[in-house]
Amino acid sequence: MKILTINQTDITQIGGINFSIKRVMEELVKRGHECRVVSINPGNLVNEENINGVNIIRIKSPMSKHLYGLSPGMAQFLNKNLGKSLKPDITHIHGHRTLLAPEVAYLLGKKHLRFVFSPHYDRLGYRTFAGKYLIGWYKPIASWIYKWAEAIVTNSEWSTNLLMQDFGISGDKIQIIHHGVDSISSFLNLFRFGDQCEIILTKIKDEAIAGHIARG
């Protein structure tokens, strides 16, 4: 399968969403899928490279940071290449917080291409003074994505309930896919902060499962 992923930030940068996309794409490549990630070039990174089998394309779009993520460069690239050099079986759009997601959703819709959407939505992110007012006009725009998407992907029941409450999305359209880890040993190395981190493990069929994680 040919999978196209669209993300605002580059997946080689630090960040939970970036790391998640990178790991999922790498695992899909191992399973024989063709994976491409298209994002905004954060600076002077190369326009295109291959990392562990994942084709990364970076679009120069200096104006997007002044337009709440709206990217003329991304629009130009997709209009030029979708259906030609880019022929995805499915597109996965990430990120609710900028105008890039509705922009890409609109462009895909014009070409009758299917997509799924991972909003990574957190209502708490809009508690700032500006956020309280901006979310009011952004919600109707964001609602387009939820309406057009083939499916909505969240990582928890909590996120699912927020989307249903704030955007009136049917639960039937939402797929919950929990985050995972490669192994418990790598997970412990990643989150070991001495006495500041509490990890409670349980055992299921002789396999260690992380049941609770908290910082002190």
Question: pLDDT averaged over consecutive 10-residue blocks of the chain (216 residues)?
Answer: 94 87 93 96 91 95 85 94 92 90 93 92 63 68 86 90 88 85 53 48 48 47
169 shares a domain with 204: no
207 shares a domain with 154: no
Are the beta carbons of 29 and 36 closer than 8 angstroms?
A: no
Q: What is the pLDDT of residue 215?
A: 46
196 shares a domain with 163: no
d(CA 32, CA 9): 25
Are the beta carbons of 176 and 160 closer than 8 angstroms?
A: yes
CA 162 to chain centre: 17
68 shares a domain with 138: yes
Domain count, the chain: 2
User: Strand pairing of 151-154 and 115-118?
Assistant: parallel
Q: What is the pLDDT of residue 98?
A: 85
138 shares a domain with 156: yes
214 shares a domain with 172: no
Q: What is the pLDDT of residue 212?
A: 47
Determine the structural domain holding residue 70 and report its residue range.
2-180
- CA 12-14-122 angle, 5° bins: 115
